Structures are given as structure tokens and as C-alpha cells.
Structure 1
Amino acid sequence: MRVLLVYESMFGNTALIAQAVADGMSGRVHVRVADAATMPEVAGMDAVVVGAPTHAFGLSRPSTRLGAAERGAPAPPDRPGTREWLAALPHAALPAAVFDTVFAKPILLGSAAGKAARLLRRAGYRLIVPPESFWVTDTAGPLRAGELDRARRWGEQIAAAVAAPQHTG
């Protein structure tokens, strides 16, 4: 089974989670990890995993990427992100999973994972595990202690769901 894991990361935290999720999946499926800015193709894949930082209660957009750059994010603000990749995604009935990174404040509402899940469902993809949020301690990070281990375990759950008999064939 081949899984495409597409992520967007401004400060590097979502990239760390993406790699940990891929590490968790790698024992059961072949994982290709790609930055959303490269606009990777889904052709030939058996499942898709999408990860993004939560910006302004949802997926990043040009204005929020510019805001991140103004706060010191090393990622160039003018590149495409997960929102643009999802908008260009072909309709397909593939299994999918979504995650986000979010600033660890309980009063904040909204989620990049929730928005990505809705866009995937509209394009025909079916979620095989619930969306997951991973916590950063501040806008630029670092990740909350234990989040990389939790991401690896979540990756194992995704791999098990993708490799299950109802997803083969």
C-alpha cells in the first residue's frame, strides 16, 4: 500500500509531526512525505494523509502565511499551502486522514484538520480515522512534550486502517 502524506509547515512543528506520523506508518505501508508547496500528485497512491498548522481557526491562506513570516517563520509566505493543494486535488474515493498542529490554548476554536477533512470529503475521500490535533506550546513552538510519540502511534493506527482488508484491492 502506498500513502501520500502531504503537509504544510511554517515554523517546522507540523513537519516534525508529519515525519513522526510517517515513521509510525512505515512498518506497514510505503509512505511518501511531501511539502504541500510542491503540489504533489495523488496518482498511484492508495491513501492520503494531510497535515497543516491551524491559522486563524482553519487552514492557512496567503495573508496568514505573511503574518507567520512577519513573526519569524522561515517558510516563504508566497508559496502554496495545504489549502491550495486541496483545491487542486482530483476527485477520488481514497481513504484519508488529517491532522493539524494547534497552539495549546483551550479557548481557541477552529481547526485546520476540520477544514481539511471537509474539503477531502467533498472531493470523495473517506476518513478512516478521526482528525487529530497535535499541540505546540506557542505560535512558533516547540511541540508539547510527548507529541512526537503520540504522532507515531497515530501513524500506526492509520497504517492499520489503510492495510485492513476493506481498503485493499
Structure 2
Amino acid sequence: MRALVVYESMFGNTRQVAMAVADGMADGADVTVTDVADAPDRVPDDVELVVVGGPTHAFSMSRAPTRQDAVRQGGAMADAATGIREWLHALPAPTRPCSFAAFDTRVDMPLLPGAASRAASRVARKLGFSMIDPVSFLVQGYQGPLVEGQLERARDWGHGLTERLAG
């Protein structure tokens, strides 16, 4: 199985999760991991699973103004140009059956509404992907770091994705 993991990360937390997810998938898939700025403009025909991850900004996927706000708080300017929202909205429908899974990183606060992963999944569903339930990984505060145990959770989730699709 071939898989593509596309992530957006302003402070490095979502990138860490993306790498852990890919690590968990590696025993069942040939995985390519890429920052959204370098992501292909269409899903390659040999990819059977697309995994997209991004930070939750203002209860959804980031927008240019929320990324600029993250830069003002210490995020990398180079990462502010584009996000998963723009990539997904420009993405054409897959040309063959393809599964989609989304994850997000979000502040560890109870009852926080909205999640980037759910918003990404709605866009992907409209494009015709087969959906896998989205998941959130928790960070401490706006900039992180990740809450203890989240990278292990991410590896386990990645492993479960490939098991689910293989089985």
C-alpha cells in the first residue's frame, strides 16, 4: 500500500505527530510525508491512503490571518504561506478509490468546539474520498509542547490505519 501524509505545522507539534503517524504506518505501507507547501497538486494514482494533519486555529483549519497570528507568537514565517485548507480546496477529486484520514493538534482544553480534522474531513468527503474517522492530538498551550503520550498515540493510530485498510 502507498500512503501520502500531508501536514501543516507552525510550531513543530503537528509535524512531530505526522512523523509519528508515518512511523506507525511504515510496517504496512510505503509512506511519503510532506509539508503542505511541498505537497503534490493532485493525489498520485498509486496512493491508496491520504492522511492530512494540521493545527486547529479558531475552531477549524487555519486561514492566512490565523497563520499570521501564529507567526506573531513565534511560529515560522515560512510555514505561514499556505495551509491544508488551501491545499484541500485546490485538490481535484481522486481518479481512483482512495481513503482519507485527518488529524489535528489542538490545545488540551475540555469542551473546546471545532477541530481542523473534522473540517478537513468534510472537504475530503465532498471530493469523493472514502472516510476514516478523524482524530485529535493534544498540545499544552498554543505553542505546545505535545501532551505526554501523544506521539505514542499517533504511532498507534498510524499502525491502525494500515491494519484497517489491509484487513
Q: TM-score, normalised by structure 2?
A: 0.93
- Equivalent residue runs for 1:34-45 within 5 Å: 34-40=34-40, 41-43=42-44, 44-45=46-47
Of 83-92 and 27-36, deviating more is 83-92
Residue deviations 1:63-115, cap 9 Å, x none? 00000000011243541110011011111231111100000011321000000
State the partner residue of 1:24.
24
Which runs of 5 or more residues in structure 2 are unaligned? none
Aligned length: 163
Runs of 4+, deviation exceeding 4 Å: none
The reply to whether residue 54 of structure 1 matches residue 56 of structure 2 is yes
User: Hey, what's the Cα distance between the residues in 2 that align with 1:34 and 1:78?
Assistant: 15
State the partner residue of 1:108.
112
1:65–1:78 CA contact under 8 A, matched in 2: yes
Residue type at the aligned position of 2:34: A
User: Hey, what's the Cα distance between the residues in 1 that align with 2:13 and 2:59?
Assistant: 17
Residue type at the aligned position of 2:127: A
State the partner residue of 1:158.
161
Which runs of 5 or more residues in structure 1 are unaligned? 165-169
Identity of paired residues, percent?
47
1:99–1:132 CA contact under 8 A, matched in 2: yes
- Equivalent residue runs for 1:86-105 within 5 Å: 86-92=88-94, 93-105=97-109
Report the aligned-residue RMSD.
1.2
Shift of 1:61: 0.7
User: Hey, what's the Cα distance between the residues in 2 that align with 1:109 and 1:97?
Assistant: 20
State the partner residue of 1:134.
137
Residue deviations 1:35-75, cap 9 Å, x none? 11113241131110010100000000100000000001124
